[in-house]
């Protein structure tokens, strides 16, 4: 599976790892599975690592998939998401996601996992990608 996740219920942290080429069907399946996970309501923050992935879908397809599978499910949830990126494609797709999620979800992009973790632990709202 090109997208795997783990939820640390004790800390409320969701860890998501994308690997290899990710198709639209795999992305939709990931979100449907995650959102139906009984531990999902316990999440207070997330780290999503895109650094070892490529995308087999267009911007418009990604936009529709977020709209159909994700946005409504997190509309009333408040949490922070740190997205680890390695290239411009990652930044582009993470930027699309960032603009589509509800205002209650704070998203920042990072190259360094330690900075992402520190941001999640802080009271800061955003940290620009360097």
CA distance 113 to 93: 18
Spans in the chain with pLDDT lower than 70 = 125-130
What's the residue count for the chain?
130
What pLDDT is recorded for position 39?
95
What domains can you pick out in the chain, each with its CATH number? 3-121 (3.30.750.24)
Q: Calculate the CA 80 to chain-centre distance.
A: 10
What pLDDT is recorded for position 130?
52
Closest CA to 83 of 57, 54, 45, 56: 45
Model pLDDT for residues 61-90, shown as the tens digit of each residue: 988 888 887 777 777 788 899 999 999 999
CA distance 110 to 77: 22
pTM of the model: 0.90
Q: Which two tokens stand for residue 113?
A: 């996992």
What pLDDT is recorded for position 30?
93
What pLDDT is recorded for position 40?
92
């Amino acid at each position: 599976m090109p997208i795997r996740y783990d939820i640390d219920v004790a800390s409320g942290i969701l860890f998501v790892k994308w690997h290899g080429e990710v198709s639209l069907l795999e992305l939709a399946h990931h979100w449907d599975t995650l959102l139906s996970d009984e531990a999902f309501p316990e999440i207070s923050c997330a780290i999503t690592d895109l650094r070892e992935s490529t995308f087999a879908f267009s911007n418009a397809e990604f936009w529709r998939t977020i709209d159909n599978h994700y946005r409504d499910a997190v509309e009333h949830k408040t949490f922070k998401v740190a997205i680890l990126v390695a290239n411009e494609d990652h930044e582009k797709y993470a930027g699309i996601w960032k603009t589509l999620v509800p205002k209650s979800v704070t998203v920042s992009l990072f190259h360094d996992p330690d900075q992402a973790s520190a941001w999640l632990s802080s009271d800061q709202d955003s940290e620009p990608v360097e």
